Amino acid sequence: MSPDRSPTEHAVAGHELVQRLLAGGIPHGHDFDACRALLHATQRGETAFTALCVLLEGALADPGLDISDAQTVVAVLKDLARGRLSPEELL
């Protein structure tokens, strides 16, 4: 996500990426599957925030994630940490 994108464009790109991560594949593992299940069940609150961050951080560490998606993950994590995006906007 380029820095010159608007907050709305960041949210759209982040939403699209999160939807692909929720569908499975990257990242791999039972912990990430548990995060996916939790995020399908609840999309609000601290638990959803934590599960989403774990899923995004896992994706970032996965060697199968392409560079442009990795850039989007970093931007989304920054926006989540700074309160510019919420899990509800991404899920």
pLDDT at 90 over 80: yes
The rounded distance, in Å, linking the Cα atoms of 4 and 41 is: 34
Q: Which residue ranges make up each domain of the chain? A: 7-90
Given a cut of 60, whether residue 11 has pLDDT beyond it is yes
Q: What is the structure's pLDDT at 6?
A: 64
In this prediction the pTM is 0.88
| Three-state secondary structure call for residue 6 | coil
Could you give the maximum distance between any two Cα atoms of the chain, in Å?
36
The pLDDT tens digits of the residues spanning 23-74 come to: 988 999 999 999 999 999 988 999 999 999 999 999 999 999 999 999 999 9
Please say whether the beta carbons of 58 and 91 come within 8 A: no
Helix axes 67-81, 45-61, angle to 10 degrees: 150
What pLDDT, in 10s, does the model give residues 61-78?
999 999 999 999 999 999
